[in-house]
Amino acid sequence: MARYRHYDPQQTKMIAVSYARQLLPGTFEHALSYLIDNEIDLGRFADRFKNDETGAPAYDPAVLLKVVLFAYSRGITSSRTMARACAENVQFIALACDQQPHFTTLANFVATLGKDVEAVFRDVLLVCNAQGLIGKKMFAIDGCKLPSNASKEWSGTRADFERKAAKMERAVAHLVKAHAEQDASEALDPSPDKQREHEERTLATLRKNAGKLRSALATTSERMGAQGKPIKRNLTDAESATLKSGHGVVQGYIGVAAVDGACQVIVEAQAHGTPQEHDLLKPVIDGVRQHFKAIGEAGAVDDAAYLADAGYHSERGLKALAAEDIDGYIADGTMRKRDPRYAKANVHKRPSKAKTFLPRDFSFDREQGTCVPGQQDAQAQQRQRHHQRSQCDRVQGHRRHLRRVSAAQPVPAQTGSHRRAPSGLLRGCRGKQTAQPALPRHARENRQ
Please report the DSSP string for 5-63 in residue order. Answer: ----TT--------HHHHS-TTSHHHHHHHHHHHTS--GGGGGG---SSSSPPPPPHHH
Q: Backbone phi, then psi, for 230, in 5-degree steps?
A: -70, 140
The pLDDT assigned to 377 comes to 53
| E strands present in 186-304 | 233-234, 241-245, 248-260, 266-272
Q: Do 99 and 59 contact (CB within 8 A), yes or no?
A: yes
d(CA 141, CA 330): 10
Ranges under pLDDT 50 in the chain: 413-440, 442-448
In 3D space, the residue among 387, 390, 389, 405 whose CA is nearest the CA of residue 441 turns out to be: 405
The pLDDT assigned to 7 comes to 84
Q: Backbone phi, then psi, for 372, in 5-degree steps?
A: -100, 120
d(CA 243, CA 232): 10
Cα 396–Cα 402–Cα 403 angle in degrees, nearest 5: 90
- Compute the residue count for the chain: 448
The pLDDT assigned to 437 comes to 47
HSE-CB of 372 using CA atoms within 13 angstroms: 11
C-alpha Rg value of the chain to the nearest Å: 38
Query: What's the DSSP call for residue 328?
Result: E
d(CA 77, CA 68): 8
Q: Do 66 and 32 contact (CB within 8 A), yes or no?
A: yes
Does pTM surpass 0.85?
no
The pLDDT assigned to 432 comes to 42
Domain limits, the chain: 19-113, 158-219, 241-341, 361-406
Strands 362-365 and 370-373 turn out to be antiparallel
Query: What's the DSSP call for residue 433?
Result: B
